[in-house]
């Protein structure tokens, strides 16, 4: 595999110059941030690539300052586009995270959260939780469906066992490719139900399947060069177990730490990205595409006494890379304010000049105002656990509040001075913590109510919704998010 990938890594693409009322309340925040900002630039892209590398920590990429390895292809993508320094996932594991990314709704609104545990039940951080749902509800409208309706040929190349069996994730895709075995990629036929594959072989040989998927991606792209395209490519290599292919290890595998094995896998991912970028350059060039590079979540490597993901909302799990590159975007721009993965959908549509086509009730915001120089953080709400206690968190400005439902305990972190989230300062900043608790509680309550209404298919009670909006607005004003 090293021989095959070795030449790929040398390819470089050329440098080129809570309800409807609640949604309105949240939109006011965006209006305050966006006032005076310029609109999208021309020419607009007509080919969109959403590239998601599963379980990818941004602090392990050299374009984000890591020095132990060099991720030169991903670095090149960042140099030629916009890199978001503080992108946060709204969920701790893949299914809810990708559901939110493709709909710009929170996991609770999609039912993609863990079942409520009986009172008094306790879970260890490694203990798996039962889930309410495992795919996007069929009544929700996804990014793929929006673009499909606008004449885009839509395709997904997905190496993630948790995503390839859910009909909801397949909504809006004309073509859906997935690994049957690590080295065999198959196109899903219309109406075909895909059985859940065996996890251990696919996870243990994720790099083999990723390489096969990238080859299929290149082959498919060569057959659709003249069409408007939306392509979702989802690679799995950094997911546990960490097993870098031969030639990509930092040290011999039997001597390597988990951290070193993880870095070895990222070296392989970067080589794969070299091949992906070479395919894009060869098949469609650099004038037409918008490339969005991100991850569904990060990975704990011993921080806070935990490993893996799905069990915590600490920074190591929800901080993700986000890079956007297009002819219409500035090269080398770094955006420091905090953004969310739910902002990807409206930003893509805005760049395509399709902003008006976004579903009216989405919770994300276009990031173009921040790309144009805006400097206000977006608040981040995160949830959805696969293991351990139910947790919810909110980031507002320089502070992050985390709530552990099992212990009924809150923790507050100053994210400006304590990025690692090691020092709980709730006792020092009690008034702020109380305000953030109100915001967290009101927002979660709204999302729960919204999901019930979406399932029932009934209109929201306007009186109750207006009261919810007033409470949330009050909480936001107290935290400095609304200027009057």
Residues 81-125 have pLDDT tens digits of 999 999 999 999 999 999 999 999 999 999 999 999 998 899 999
First and final CA of the chain: distance in angstroms? 60
| Residues 63, 304 contacting (CB under 8 angstroms) | no
- Residue 484, domain member (yes or no): no
Q: Give the residue numbers spanning the domain of 226.
A: 45-382
Is the same domain home to 132 and 226? yes
Residues 20-30 have pLDDT tens digits of 333 433 433 44
Residues 304-360 have pLDDT tens digits of 999 999 999 999 999 999 999 999 999 999 999 999 999 999 999 999 999 999 998
pLDDT score of 61 more than 50: yes
Residues 216-226 have pLDDT tens digits of 999 999 999 99
Is the same domain home to 194 and 88? yes
Percentage of the chain surpassing pLDDT 90? Answer: 79
Tell me, what's the pLDDT at 178? 94
Pairing of strands 82-88, 319-320: antiparallel
Is the same domain home to 188 and 331? yes
Is the same domain home to 322 and 290? yes
Is the same domain home to 315 and 251? yes
Is the same domain home to 326 and 433? no
Is the same domain home to 129 and 52? yes
Pairing of strands 409-414, 399-404: antiparallel
Is the same domain home to 403 and 318? no
- Residue 10, domain member (yes or no): no
Residues 443-478 have pLDDT tens digits of 999 999 999 999 887 444 444 444 555 455 545 444
- Residue 7, domain member (yes or no): no
Is the same domain home to 311 and 443? no
Look over the chain and give the mean of its residue pLDDT values, rounded to a whole number: 88
Residues 378-418 have pLDDT tens digits of 999 999 999 999 999 999 999 999 999 999 999 999 999 99
- Residue 214, domain member (yes or no): yes
DSSP line for 204-256:
HTHHHHHHHHHHHHHHHHHT-TTS-EEEEEEE-TTSSSP-PPTT--SS-GGG-
> Which of 350, 382, 414 represents a domain boundary (last residue)?
382
- Residue 417, domain member (yes or no): yes
Between the alpha carbon of residue 427 and those of residues 315, 411, 436, the distances in Å are 21, 9, 14
Is the same domain home to 150 and 277? yes
Is the same domain home to 428 and 345? no
> Which of 356, 382, 408 represents a domain boundary (last residue)?
382
Close Cβ partners of 305 (under 8 Å, ≥ 6 residues apart) = none
Is the same domain home to 250 and 313? yes
Tell me, what's the pLDDT at 468? 53
- Residue 9, domain member (yes or no): no
The number of domains in the chain is 2
Residues 231-287 have pLDDT tens digits of 999 999 999 999 999 999 999 999 999 999 999 999 999 999 999 999 999 999 999
- Residue 8, domain member (yes or no): no
| Residue among 240, 263, 273, 252 nearest 68 (CA) | 263
- Residue 4, domain member (yes or no): no
């Amino acid at each position: 595999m090293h021989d095959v990938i070795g030449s790929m890594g040398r390819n470089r693409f050329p440098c080129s110059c809570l309800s409807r009322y609640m949604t309105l309340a949240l939109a006011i925040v965006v209006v305050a941030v966006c006032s005076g900002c310029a609109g999208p630039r021309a020419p607009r892209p007509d080919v969109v690539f959403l590239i998601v590398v599963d379980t990818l920590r941004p602090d392990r990429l050299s374009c984000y300052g890591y020095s132990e390895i060099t991720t030169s292809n991903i670095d090149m993508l960042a140099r030629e586009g916009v890199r978001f320094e503080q992108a946060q996932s709204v969920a701790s594991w893949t299914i809810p995270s990708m559901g939110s990314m493709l709909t710009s709704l929170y996991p609770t609104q999609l039912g993609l959260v863990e079942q409520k545990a009986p009172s008094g039940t306790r879970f260890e951080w490694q203990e798996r939780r039962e889930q309410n749902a495992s795919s996007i509800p069929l009544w929700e409208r996804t990014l793929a469906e929006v673009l499909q309706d606008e004449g885009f040929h839509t395709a997904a190349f997905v190496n993630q066992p948790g995503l390839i069996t859910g009909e909801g994730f397949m909504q809006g895709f004309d073509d859906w490719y997935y690994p049957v075995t690590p080295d065999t990629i198959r196109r899903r036929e219309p109406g075909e139900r895909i059985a859940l594959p065996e996890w251990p072989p696919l996870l243990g040989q994720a790099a083999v399947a990723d390489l096969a998927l990238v080859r299929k991606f290149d082959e498919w792209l060569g057959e659709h060069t003249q069409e408007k395209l939306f392509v979702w490519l989802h690679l799995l290599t950094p997911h546990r177990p960490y097993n870098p292919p031969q030639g990509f290890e930092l040290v011999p595998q039997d001597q390597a730490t988990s951290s070193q094995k993880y870095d070895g896998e990222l070296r392989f991912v970067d080589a794969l990205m070299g091949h992906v970028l070479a395919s894009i350059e060869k098949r469609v060039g650099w004038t037409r595409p918008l490339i969005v590079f991100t991850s569904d979540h990060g990975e704990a490597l011993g921080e806070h006494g935990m490993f893996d993901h799905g069990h915590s909302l600490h920074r190591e799990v929800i901080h993700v890379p986000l890079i956007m590159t297009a002819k219409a975007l500035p090269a080398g721009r770094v955006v420091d304010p905090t953004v969310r993965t739910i902002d990807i959908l409206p930003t893509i549509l805005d760049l395509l000049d399709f902003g008006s086509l976004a579903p009216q009730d989405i919770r994300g915001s276009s990031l173009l105002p921040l790309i144009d120089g805006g400097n206000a953080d977006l608040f981040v709400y995160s949830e959805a656990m696969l293991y351990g206690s139910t947790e919810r968190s909110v980031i507002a400005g320089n502070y992050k509040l985390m709530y552990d439902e099992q212990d009924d305990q809150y923790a507050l972190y100053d994210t400006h001075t304590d990025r690692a989230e090691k020092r709980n300062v709730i006792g020092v900043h009690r008034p702020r913590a109380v305000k953030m608790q109100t915001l967290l509680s009101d927002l979660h309550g709204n999302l729960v109510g919204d999901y019930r209404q979406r399932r029932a298919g009934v209109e929201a009670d306007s009186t109750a919704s207006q009261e919810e909006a007033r409470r949330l607005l009050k909480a936001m004003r107290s935290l400095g998010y609304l200027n009057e």
